[in-house]
A and B are shown apart, each in its own frame.
Chain A
Amino acid sequence: MILRALDLKSQIFLAITLIVAALVPVLNLYVPESSAFHVSSFAVALFGKYLTYALLAISVDLIWGFCGILSLGHGAFFALGGYAMGMHLMREIGDRGVYANPLLPDFMVFLNWKELPWFWHGFDMFWFACLMVVLVPGALAFVFGWFAFRSRVTGVYFSIITQAMTYALLLAFFRNDMGFGGNNGLTDFKDVLGYDLQSDTTRAGLFALSALALAGGFLICRLVVTSRLGKVLVSIRDAESRTRFLGYRVEGYKLFVFTLSAMLAGVAGALYVPQVGIINPGEFSPANSIEIVIWVAVGGRGLLVGAVVGAIIVNAAKTLLTGWVPEIWLFALGAIFIFVTLFLPKGVLGGLSAFVDLIGAKTKSKSEAKGPSSTAPQLAE
């Protein structure tokens, strides 16, 4: 089963990810700064963040690319995973906060709260927080999906209600009395499992962990999409009623893959928060979720690796442009999206592989001396 999931392209991708996971921390920690091979701590933190985005993009590609479920609210699952991790990091601050309260995080002391809200209990334990990182987004996706898919909400209607879901959460988390730090969110983290979050070693470790999580998430998605279940997902994407009339209860499959995807997004969020040092309600903003979909579209949907490529390209462009001329970023994002939609409908990676096929077909037909080329890229989908 593992073998079937790992074709050559997947092996290459996994190998690159694992090499990056090992090499970048080494180049950061053990190569002197004067060396040309040194990777700065800034770059480690930045690329660590991109890796969590890449995992998030894969989770969206799993449902959108393979099952046709366009979620415009996946940022919500990412943020919930992030909040779950953030809550643990808050509890780990302990009495080192500004108000030095051993039990209550600073913002609760500031709000004059006397005791910890019930839903904060347990988050002092790392394993519990890790469990919540997958369970909370998973449970929300399960309940939300159960109602939506059972009522056969599909297409653009589904997309709209996912936007509404993330917007509702945005509003809720903004409120101080929700108990998640309101507007400011959770921040001022000190350490995780006793390791200082500001130290280079911890950051390099988080980077490696993010790369491993990306590899793991990729492997899980490959296992799903190459199984017979994956074939059913594609069938649902392409001809939902045909699938139904063959005896498949479509809602069950959608619910499974949507929940799995939300869990992966939660893991991405949990790795994101310690690296950027803050989680606030802004992560729930509907625009964020739309941006994730753009990453996937730019990279090429239905390829998994395409989502990774797209997330990294778009975010690298974002980092460059917002550092250079911040005002034009949104225009640039729009322009990238339009360009890709018009000229690379299958995304950068999809376009690239079509190009490679084309070259391959040309050289092949030349060597076969003008035989009718049957390996021309299939334009019809």
Chain B
Amino acid sequence: MTVSTADTMLYLNGVSVAFDGFKAINELSLVLEEGEMRAVVGPNGAGKTTMMDIITGKTRPDKGEVIFAGNVDLTKHDEAGIARMGVGRKFQKPTVFETHTVEDNLLLSLKGSRGVFDLLFARRTKAEQARIDELLDLIRLGDRRSEKAAALSHGQKQWLEIGMLLAQDPKVLLVDEPAAGMTDAETMQTAELLRQVAGEHTVMVVEHDMDFVRALGVKVTVLHEGSVLAEGSLDHVSSNPKVIDVYLGR
């Protein structure tokens, strides 16, 4: 296995976790370089979401290490702490603050103090407003800024959530099935959006939709039963007999 180096952003080594005896993640090892975009695919129950839970601090692994930015052991921190260090997570089901306006959703996501009393007296600064405007342009929701997020379409909520992740200015973005429930056009726009943000950020995309993965055009990791089955370009892994076996049934 590759060892952790300076430009490694995320390094999972021998991670295992079991729920009631069921091994959801089994000796999983994975390396993400800084600025890399990676697609993670796998059948249902392969452990994709559990892997994200472990990286973001929601689930503690039974064993193994999760090293972030070369030296931080993420297994020792909670969700909020990990988020503040720069790991953003997008949920499978688009989760935005429905009763807040689009703009407020972004405002609350901006990097900055999270102290109770700081927030009680916080005012919106010019810099914050500028950053919000910039993000609204990026996620194409500028004309809907004062509407409640509940009024957005499914695809627009997905983009808003991606915008909220970017507002945190994260080093790593974990994106869980961004194309789920989107129209074909929206899917392609989302792939475009993610390609735009990669490079500046390290991105891990979990996805079922092979067209979408193809549109991303990045290195693919195939998960199966909690461990890595194959890794490489999409064409490379899809010609792998083990992968075909898992995907097309035994």
**Chain A residues positioned under 8 Å from B91 (CB to CB):** 241-242, 245
Closest Cβ–Cβ distance, residue B11 to chain A (whole Å) = 21
Residue of A nearest to B109 (CB): A246
Closest Cβ–Cβ distance, residue B245 to chain A (whole Å) = 35
Tell me if A309 counts as interface (CB < 8 A to partner B). Answer: no
Segment touching A, from B42-50, B95-103, B222-230, B234-242: B95-103
Choose from A223, A234, A244 the contact partner of B100 (Cβ within 8 Å): A234
Segment touching B, from A193-201, A249-257, A333-341: A249-257
Residue among B81, B100, B107 having the largest count of chain A Cβ atoms under 10 Å: B100
Residue among A224, A231, A232, A234 having the largest count of chain B Cβ atoms under 10 Å: A231
A381 lies within 8 A of B99 (CB)? yes
Residue among A227, A239, A242, A381 having the largest count of chain B Cβ atoms under 10 Å: A242
Tell me if B18 counts as interface (CB < 8 A to partner A). Answer: no
Q: How far is the CA of A224 from the CA of B116 in the complex (A)?
A: 11
Hey, what's the 0/1 contact readout for A225-238 against B, CB within 8 Å counting as 1? 00111011011001
Tell me if B195 counts as interface (CB < 8 A to partner A). Answer: no
B100 lies within 8 A of A246 (CB)? no
Segment touching A, from B29-37, B63-71, B119-127, B205-213: B119-127
Closest Cβ–Cβ distance, residue B110 to chain A (whole Å) = 9
Contact of A1 with B121 at beta-carbon distance under 8 Å, contacts A247-B114, A381-B99 already known: yes
Tell me if B38 counts as interface (CB < 8 A to partner A). Answer: no
**Within A242-296, which residues are at the interface with B (CB < 8 Å)?**
242, 244-250, 252-253, 256
B108 lies within 8 A of A246 (CB)? yes
Tell me if A35 counts as interface (CB < 8 A to partner B). Answer: no
Hey, what's the 0/1 contact readout for A175-194 against B, CB within 8 Å counting as 1? 00000000000000000000
Closest Cβ–Cβ distance, residue A243 to chain B (whole Å) = 8
B108 lies within 8 A of A232 (CB)? yes
Q: How far is the CA of A232 from the CA of B109 in the complex (A)?
A: 10
Tell me if A380 counts as interface (CB < 8 A to partner B). Answer: yes
Interface size range on A against B: 20 to 34
B79 lies within 8 A of A244 (CB)? yes
A227 lies within 8 A of B95 (CB)? no
Tell me if B104 counts as interface (CB < 8 A to partner A). Answer: yes
**Chain B residues positioned under 8 Å from A235 (CB to CB):** 97, 100, 108
**Chain A residues positioned under 8 Å from B145 (CB to CB):** none
Contact of A245 with B122 at beta-carbon distance under 8 Å, contacts A232-B108, A234-B100, A378-B148 already known: no
Q: How far is the CA of A250 from the CA of B78 in the complex (A)?
A: 11
Q: How far is the CA of A253 from the CA of B119 in the complex (A)?
A: 10
Hey, what's the 0/1 contact readout for B107-148 against A, CB within 8 Å counting as 1? 111000010100111100000000000000000000000001
Q: How far is the CA of A213 from the CA of B88 in the complex (A)?
A: 43
**Chain A residues positioned under 8 Å from B72 (CB to CB):** none
Residue among B79, B100, B164 having the largest count of chain A Cβ atoms under 10 Å: B79
A229 lies within 8 A of B119 (CB)? yes
Residue of B nearest to A242 (CB): B95
A245 lies within 8 A of B98 (CB)? no
Closest Cβ–Cβ distance, residue B153 to chain A (whole Å) = 13
B97 lies within 8 A of A242 (CB)? yes
B96 lies within 8 A of A232 (CB)? no
Tell me if B54 counts as interface (CB < 8 A to partner A). Answer: no
Contact of A241 with B95 at beta-carbon distance under 8 Å, contacts A1-B121, A231-B104 already known: yes
Choose from A229, A232, A245, A381 the contact partner of B150 (Cβ within 8 Å): A381
Closest Cβ–Cβ distance, residue B52 to chain A (whole Å) = 10
A239 lies within 8 A of B114 (CB)? no
A234 lies within 8 A of B114 (CB)? no
**Chain B residues positioned under 8 Å from A239 (CB to CB):** 95-98
Q: How far is the CA of A377 from the CA of B238 in the complex (A)?
A: 51
A246 lies within 8 A of B168 (CB)? yes
Tell me if B171 counts as interface (CB < 8 A to partner A). Answer: no
**Chain A residues positioned under 8 Å from B100 (CB to CB):** 231, 234-235
Residue of A nearest to B110 (CB): A246
Q: How far is the CA of A138 from the CA of B168 in the complex (A)?
A: 34
Tell me if B201 counts as interface (CB < 8 A to partner A). Answer: no
Closest Cβ–Cβ distance, residue A374 to chain B (whole Å) = 10
Tell me if B83 counts as interface (CB < 8 A to partner A). Answer: yes
Residue of B nearest to A234 (CB): B99
A227 lies within 8 A of B121 (CB)? yes
Q: How far is the CA of A224 from the CA of B72 in the complex (A)?
A: 36
Residue among A223, A238, A253, A381 having the largest count of chain B Cβ atoms under 10 Å: A238
Q: How far is the CA of A223 from the CA of B95 in the complex (A)?
A: 27
**Chain A residues positioned under 8 Å from B148 (CB to CB):** 378
B150 lies within 8 A of A378 (CB)? yes
**Chain A residues positioned under 8 Å from B56 (CB to CB):** 245
Closest Cβ–Cβ distance, residue B44 to chain A (whole Å) = 21
List 14 contacting pairs A-B, 8 Å CB cutoff, sorted by A: A223-B120, A227-B119, A227-B120, A229-B120, A231-B108, A232-B108, A235-B100, A242-B95, A242-B97, A245-B88, A246-B108, A246-B109, A247-B81, A247-B83
If A247-B168, A378-B151 are given as contacts, then 5 extra A-B residue pairs at C-beta distance below 8 Å, sorted by A number, are: A223-B120, A238-B98, A246-B164, A381-B98, A381-B99
Residues on B lying within 8 angstroms of A by beta carbon are 56, 58, 78-81, 83-84, 88-89, 91, 95-100, 104, 107-109, 114, 116, 119-122, 148, 150-151, 164, 168
Residues on A lying within 8 angstroms of B by beta carbon are 1, 223-224, 227-229, 231-232, 234-235, 238-239, 241-242, 244-250, 252-253, 256, 378, 380-381
Closest 5 CB pairs between A and B?
A247-B83, A229-B119, A247-B84, A228-B122, A249-B80
